[in-house]
Chains A and B, each alone.
Chain A
Amino acid sequence: MTMTSPAPASAAPAATERHARRSARRRRWMRKHPPLILGAVLLVLVAGLSLAAPWIATHDPQALDPLARLAPPSAAHPFGTDALGRDLFSRVMWGGRASLVVGLTVAVLATSAGVLLGLAAGFVRRADGLVMRLMDGLMAIPDILLAIALMAVTRASLTTVIVAITVPQVPRVVRLVRSLALSLREQQYVEAARALGTRLPVILWRHVLPNMVTPLVVQATFIAATAMLTEALLSFLGVGLPPQIPSWGTMMADGRNFVAVAFHAVLFPGLFLAATVLSVNLVGDGLRDALDPRLSRQL
């Protein structure tokens, strides 16, 4: 036992040194990617506020107060009230939920659908023409117009809004995945897998998908930002979320008529929407730079 006694003594400094080195590397990495950190902090803040809405909201977001219509910001109503006397602070906090849910869901759905269709187009020769012509057709229609058209034929609800925003985003992912698949299928390790008798689904899962995760994550963040803006726009135009779901777009649409007398009714939801979209875009930009080894070497 005496032989082992020096070991822990030397192991402890080694561990702290390793820890110090690792945290130093992490600090350096953070300093190298300020937009990513800024965006992530901002996004976490907004997400935290909307998740905590039931506890930090001072009023019921739907409660009418006819006596305090279009009230300016005050101690009782930090963001003032809207034309129906609803507390804007509470509504803005709750409204973040709609934006975040739509952004996240659309990003996941559009990316998943795009990956499936894009892989089919890239690896199955017979599917290629059909899928890509379909996507060309979808891309020929302006995104907003397509979303409005889809909303026009369905009943307004959270689900239909998400579908209407997802559909125009899918072709972009399909194109990205197809082009990645076409370059990856020529990789020698994919050829090697074929020579080893690996079946196509396994090749896709083991060799192709893991090597396209980085560009897909970046693309997904941009889709999330676009989806939040589109949701606000649809709600602003009155074809988005139903009135009982508070949304920043609806709030701005409601406040639009009273900008001259109560600009706060447009200002606060607008600020939060801008900050959220900015944060998601910063994260996407930052991820692209941080995950691309070529870019980081140049810096």
Chain B
Amino acid sequence: MIPPMIAPTSPQAEPQPNPRRTATPSAPPLLEVSDLTKHFLVGGKAGRGRAGGVKAVDGVSFALDRGETLSLVGESGCGKTTTGKSVLRLIEPTAGSVRLEGEELLGLAPSRMRSHRRDMQIIFQDPYASLNPRLSAAEIVAEPMRNFADPAWRGPGALRDRLAWLFAKVGLRPEAMAKLPGEFSGGQRQRLGIARALALKPKLIVCDEPVSALDVSVQAQVVNLLMDLQAEFGLSYLFVAHDLAVVRHISHRVAVMYLGRIVEIAECERLFTDPQHPYTRMLLSAAPIPAPGARTTRVLPIGDPPSALNPPAGCRFHPRCPMARPICRETAPPLIPHGSATGGAHRVACHLVS
């Protein structure tokens, strides 16, 4: 058994235009989210009478193919993490539809829902808080495999073999198995979280800001690990992040969120080179450019994002938009295809973009 000497086809080396959306139109996408809505009640029972509460996510729709990475980006509080966790029903959505391989997940009884958890996993932002401090690394990674029976890890010998394999896959030494989470560095803990998410051979992994708590040097390692694993196992990632450099590196498609709604969604390179929505342009121009002396025409948003408790009428971005017209105050723009070259893959929600 000689391992193939070819390096995994990880795209980290060459900046390529991501031509890898391969699913045929007839097959349903792995994940299909439509009109996902989550309203948080404020002020306990007293607030229940008032309309809505915080509209953290307000009618979000997207689809995710097998082997694809879709990134959700936006400012803090725009609802990207809520969207990610609602897909897994870790947060119970208020309304909408989440379909995994064509099957509706919302409204499933807990036992039926549990059987779907095999296929969908999550990697958390904080590698310190997401690991029980009292369990050893081996126990942490073995937990999902104890929850679901599978011939691949039936019996103590098989389980031990699979643990060793998983630890090797994420680049942890076998000696690490007996250690407690407190004895690892942040990057190693995140690798542990990845091994745990990988254990059940899932199809979808929601990555909730998986690298934002890590050092920059460790970020690169973890991002590359995620990309290698995707290439090897055909994983789909729903990648929640605010670091645009990381997003550009890992994504096939990117969705920009603002105050609970998607304002623009496009192929990764297209979004970064040809952004249409005024908010997307601001977001991109706010990112630093790693070249000394480089000057950009920075378009900075005016003021702070409005409260999600009482979002502005019409287009939610209009109070901060330099190009706002009267119509923006009146009606909310729908998310519609932009340009004919993209075949409808580039969608923008703005009255001023046709």
The answer to whether A and B come from one shared complex is: yes
A199 to B121, CA, bound (A): 16
**Are A207's CB and B121's CB within 8 A?**
no
**Are B130's CB and A198's CB within 8 A?**
no
Nearest opposing residue in chain A for B127, CB measure = A188
CB-contact partner of B129 in A189, A194, A210, under 8 A: A189
A residues near B200, Cβ cutoff 8 Å: 196-197
**Are B117's CB and A206's CB within 8 A?**
no
**Are A192's CB and B124's CB within 8 A?**
yes
A195 in the interface (beta carbon within 8 A): yes
Stretch of B65-73, B141-149, B262-270 with 4 or more beta carbons under 8 angstroms from chain A? B141-149
**Are A189's CB and B90's CB within 8 A?**
no
Stretch of B131-139, B223-231, B316-324, B327-335 with 4 or more beta carbons under 8 angstroms from chain A? B131-139
29 A-B Cβ contacts within 8 A? Answer: A187-B129, A188-B124, A188-B126, A188-B129, A189-B130, A191-B90, A192-B122, A192-B131, A192-B193, A194-B90, A195-B88, A195-B90, A195-B117, A195-B122, A196-B121, A196-B143, A196-B144, A196-B196, A196-B200, A197-B114, A197-B117, A197-B118, A197-B144, A198-B143, A198-B144, A199-B147, A207-B132, A210-B134, A211-B133
**Are B147's CB and A197's CB within 8 A?**
yes
How many residues of B sit at the interface, in one of the four size bands?
20 to 34
A193 in the interface (beta carbon within 8 A): yes
A194 to B117, CA, bound (A): 9
Most chain B CB atoms below 10 A, which of A188, A197, A202, A206: A197
A210 to B136, CA, bound (A): 14
- Flag B63-100 by CB within 8 Å of A: 1 or 0 each: 00000000000000000000000001010000000000
**How many Å from the CB of B104 to the closest CB on chain A?**
19
**Are B132's CB and A197's CB within 8 A?**
no
Most chain A CB atoms below 10 A, which of B88, B124, B130, B196: B130
Which residues 189-237 of A sit at the B interface, judged by CB distance below 8 A?
189, 191-199, 202, 206-207, 210-211
Q: What DSSP secondary structure best describes chain B's contact surface?
A: loop
**Are B132's CB and A189's CB within 8 A?**
yes
Most chain B CB atoms below 10 A, which of A194, A196, A198, A207: A196
CB-contact partner of A189 in B88, B115, B118, B131, under 8 A: B131
Which residues 149-203 of A sit at the B interface, judged by CB distance below 8 A?
187-189, 191-199, 202
A192 to B115, CA, bound (A): 16
**How many Å from the CB of B149 to the closest CB on chain A?**
12
**How many Å from the CB of A107 to the closest CB on chain B?**
24
A189-B131, A206-B132 known; A197+B90 contact, CB < 8 A: no
A residues with a Cβ closer than 8 A to B are 187-189, 191-199, 202, 206-207, 210-211
**Are A197's CB and B88's CB within 8 A?**
no
**How many Å from the CB of A290 to the closest CB on chain B?**
18
A residues near B117, Cβ cutoff 8 Å: 195-197
A127 to B113, CA, bound (A): 23
A257 to B180, CA, bound (A): 62
Most chain A CB atoms below 10 A, which of B131, B143, B200: B143
Most chain A CB atoms below 10 A, which of B118, B122, B132: B132
CB-contact partner of B121 in A191, A195, A210, under 8 A: A195
B residues with a Cβ closer than 8 A to A are 88, 90, 114-115, 117-118, 121-122, 124, 126, 129-135, 143-144, 147-148, 193, 196, 200
A residues near B90, Cβ cutoff 8 Å: 191, 194-195
A207 to B143, CA, bound (A): 11
A194 to B143, CA, bound (A): 11
B residues near A210, Cβ cutoff 8 Å: 134
B residues near A189, Cβ cutoff 8 Å: 129-133
Nearest opposing residue in chain A for B88, CB measure = A195
**Are B121's CB and A188's CB within 8 A?**
no
**How many Å from the CB of B124 to the closest CB on chain A?**
6
A residues near B114, Cβ cutoff 8 Å: 197, 199
Nearest opposing residue in chain B for A192, CB measure = B130
A195 to B134, CA, bound (A): 19
Nearest opposing residue in chain A for B126, CB measure = A188
A residues near B196, Cβ cutoff 8 Å: 192, 196
**How many Å from the CB of A293 to the closest CB on chain B?**
11
**Are B134's CB and A188's CB within 8 A?**
no
A52 to B131, CA, bound (A): 48
Nearest opposing residue in chain B for A211, CB measure = B134
A residues near B129, Cβ cutoff 8 Å: 187-189
**How many Å from the CB of A254 to the closest CB on chain B?**
51
**How many Å from the CB of A115 to the closest CB on chain B?**
17
**Are A196's CB and B147's CB within 8 A?**
yes
Most chain B CB atoms below 10 A, which of A194, A195, A202, A207: A195
Nearest opposing residue in chain B for A187, CB measure = B129
A189 to B135, CA, bound (A): 11
A194 to B90, CA, bound (A): 7
**How many Å from the CB of A126 to the closest CB on chain B?**
14
**Are A188's CB and B130's CB within 8 A?**
yes
A192 to B131, CA, bound (A): 8
**Are A197's CB and B148's CB within 8 A?**
yes
A202 to B132, CA, bound (A): 13
B residues near A199, Cβ cutoff 8 Å: 114, 147
**How many Å from the CB of A198 to the closest CB on chain B?**
5
**Are B147's CB and A198's CB within 8 A?**
yes
Nearest opposing residue in chain A for B130, CB measure = A188
Extra A-B contacts (5), CB below 8 Å, given A188-B124, A189-B131, A210-B134: A188-B126, A192-B193, A195-B90, A196-B147, A198-B147
Nearest opposing residue in chain A for B199, CB measure = A196
Nearest opposing residue in chain B for A198, CB measure = B147
A60 to B211, CA, bound (A): 74
**Are A206's CB and B147's CB within 8 A?**
no
**Are A206's CB and B135's CB within 8 A?**
yes
Nearest opposing residue in chain A for B132, CB measure = A189
List the 8 closest pairs (A to B, CB-CB), nearest first: A197-B117, A188-B129, A196-B144, A188-B130, A189-B132, A197-B147, A195-B122, A192-B130
